[in-house]
């Protein structure tokens, strides 16, 4: 009986979310759309598999999630399938007749930021000289400049796919060219950070661009999922070996062959394949949170998820008791490894903060950052599209990511605006303000006072 009830509720939620996806206007994507898309990818798909198999586990962490036994977690996940469509309906989309006031330079600026921050972080890690990718990254944090650059690179690798999609919706780029550019950027990121997340952003962008091409969408989705699943079972071993003997094509080839042989000798589980594509282990970690938070030894965190994004760059010396990184606290609590960051979807942090009042806390949190992106540039569709992709990424990061993404997006908007109003003119290698810009700046200052 319980199986029937849960499947009925799940399939009803799937139908509602598919209806909401069909209504999404790609030219007017915003933060709330990104929340729906992210939930569809990171929660709805893996939950369906878990309901079919009856169990999911993360052997390395000794965690198990049984959807028909752990009803509190399953109820939360299915409840969210109804909650966010209702939130999207209650807070309507941008009026279609409002003109787009995006700064045309935002696209090239984000792409350049992606390239520059990626190149600088790659140099700071010293991977060009070889070593283990994770150990090199950990060592790079000894340099104070590395952390803000890494934050910027993490946001840029997300935003770059947003601006590519935006260009397609504007008719300034074909779908094929956007996919080719996205593939090149993903490969650059893949072999400089050895992180697979850009491949996921590329897949999501591709599926959105083919939303109105059902046959191509099904073929691309099926092919990508099969390919990513096979690739993900080999990737962990490959990236652990790829640069240990130096950063070279020969080293990559040897590492790939070794990883392939190891994969062929072992049988990859469904959980491992699913996790490689959808990071489904996040749901298993969520189940641990539901079971352990709220006890005397692990009290709820109150409003820490609201404070963490705005205190991200605040030095610990200024506020020693500031909220800690939630992912790292999970790594220490579950695996007793302070340097391990574990993700738990948006539900995990909201439950850890508010317990069974999580729907109120999470809705307030989502609407807050939806409003922040609206405040940054309400009629700039490229900015709202960047907000949508930031919302997608929130499902695999903790709350601090959205603060960093909004801060960097706002900084780019302000920088481009200042360049535009200052009317900088070049003379040789120097720049000076035009007389008109000085007058307009003085007038603006008078209006502000």
Each residue's pLDDT tens digit, 167-211: 999 999 999 999 999 999 999 998 888 888 898 999 999 999 988
CA distance 46 to 42: 7
CA distance 87 to 32: 8
Residue-wise pLDDT for 17-76, tens only, equals: 999 999 999 999 999 999 999 999 999 999 999 999 998 988 888 899 999 999 999 999
CA distance 84 to 218: 25
With tokens 């489904």, the residue in question is 280
User: Tokens standing for 416?
Assistant: 């481009």
User: Tokens standing for 287?
Assistant: 């189940």
CB atoms within 10 A of CB 87: 18
User: Tokens standing for 124?
Assistant: 């700071």
User: Tokens standing for 9?
Assistant: 């509720």
Q: Beta 56-58 vs 425-427: how paired, if at all? A: unpaired
Supply the pLDDT for residue 72: 95
> What is the C-alpha end-to-end distance of the chain, expressed in Å?
68
Supply φ then ψ for residue 431, to 5 degrees: -125, 145
443 pLDDT tier (thresholds 50, 70, 90): very low
CA distance 370 to 367: 5
Residue-wise pLDDT for 149-158, tens only, equals: 999 999 999 9
Per-range mean pLDDT, top range of 245-254, 283-292, 308-317, 420-429: 283-292
In the predicted model, what is the mean pLDDT of residues 413-440? 60
Q: How many CA atoms lie within 13 A of 266 on its CB side?
A: 14
pLDDT over threshold 80, residue 431: no
Alpha-helical regions (H) of 195-315: 197-209, 214-241, 249-265, 270-278, 281-292, 304-310
The C-alpha angle with vertex 314 and arms to 311 and 318, in degrees rounded to 5, equals: 115
Q: Cβ neighbours of residue 275 under 8 Å, at least 6 residues apart? A: 58, 232, 281
CB atoms within 10 A of CB 426: 8
Q: Where are the domains of the chain?
A: 101-423
Residue-wise pLDDT for 203-218, tens only, equals: 999 999 988 887 777 8
Residue-wise pLDDT for 352-405, tens only, equals: 999 999 999 999 999 999 999 999 998 899 999 999 999 999 999 888 899 999
User: Tokens standing for 419?
Assistant: 């360049």
């Amino acid at each position: 009986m319980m199986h029937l009830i849960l499947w009925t509720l799940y399939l009803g939620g799937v139908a509602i979310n598919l209806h909401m996806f069909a209504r999404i206007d790609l030219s007017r994507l915003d933060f709330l759309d990104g929340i729906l898309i992210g939930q569809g990818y990171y929660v709805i798909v893996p939950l369906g598999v878990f309901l079919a198999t009856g169990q999911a586990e993360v052997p390395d962490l000794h965690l198990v999630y049984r959807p028909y036994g752990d009803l509190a977690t399953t109820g939360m996940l299915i409840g969210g399938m109804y909650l966010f469509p209702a939130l999207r309906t209650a807070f309507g989309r941008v009026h279609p007749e409002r003109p787009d006031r995006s700064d045309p330079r935002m696209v090239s600026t984000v792409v350049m930021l992606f390239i520059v921050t990626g190149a600088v972080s790659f140099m700071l890690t010293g991977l060009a000289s070889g070593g283990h990718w994770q150990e090199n990254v950990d060592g790079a944090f000894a340099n104070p400049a590395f952390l803000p650059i890494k934050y910027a690179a993490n946001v840029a690798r997300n935003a770059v796919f947003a601006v590519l999609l935006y260009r397609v919706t504007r008719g300034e780029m074909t779908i094929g060219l956007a996919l080719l550019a996205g593939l090149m950027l993903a490969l650059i990121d893949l072999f400089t950070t050895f992180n697979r997340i850009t491949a996921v952003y590329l897949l999501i962008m591709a599926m959105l661009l083919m939303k109105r091409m059902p046959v191509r969408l099904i073929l691309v989705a099926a092919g990508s999922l099969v390919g990513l699943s096979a690739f993900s079972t080999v990737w962990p071993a490959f990236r652990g070996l790829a640069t240990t003997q130096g950063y070279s094509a020969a080293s990559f080839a040897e590492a790939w062959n070794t990883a392939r042989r190891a994969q062929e000798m072992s049988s990859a589980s469904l959980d491992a394949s699913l996790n490689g594509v959808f990071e489904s282990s996040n749901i298993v970690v969520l189940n641990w949170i539901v079971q352990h938070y709220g006890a005397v030894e692990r009290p709820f965190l109150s409003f820490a998820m609201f404070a963490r994004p705005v205190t991200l760059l605040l030095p610990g010396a200024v506020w020693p008791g500031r909220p800690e990184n939630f992912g790292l606290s999970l790594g220490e609590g579950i695996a007793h490894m302070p340097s391990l960051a574990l993700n738990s979807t948006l539900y995990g942090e909201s439950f850890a903060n508010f317990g069974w009042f999580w729907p109120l806390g999470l809705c307030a949190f989502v609407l807050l950052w939806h409003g922040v992106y609206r405040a940054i540039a309400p009629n700039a569709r490229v900015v709202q599209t960047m907000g949508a992709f930031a919302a997608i990424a929130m499902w695999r990061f903790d709350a601090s990511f959205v603060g960093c993404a909004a801060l960097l997006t706002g900084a780019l908007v302000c920088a481009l605006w200042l360049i535009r109003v200052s009317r900088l003119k070049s003379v040789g290698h120097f720049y000076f303000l035009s007389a008109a810009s000085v007058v307009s700046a003085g007038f603006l200052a008078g209006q502000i006072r």
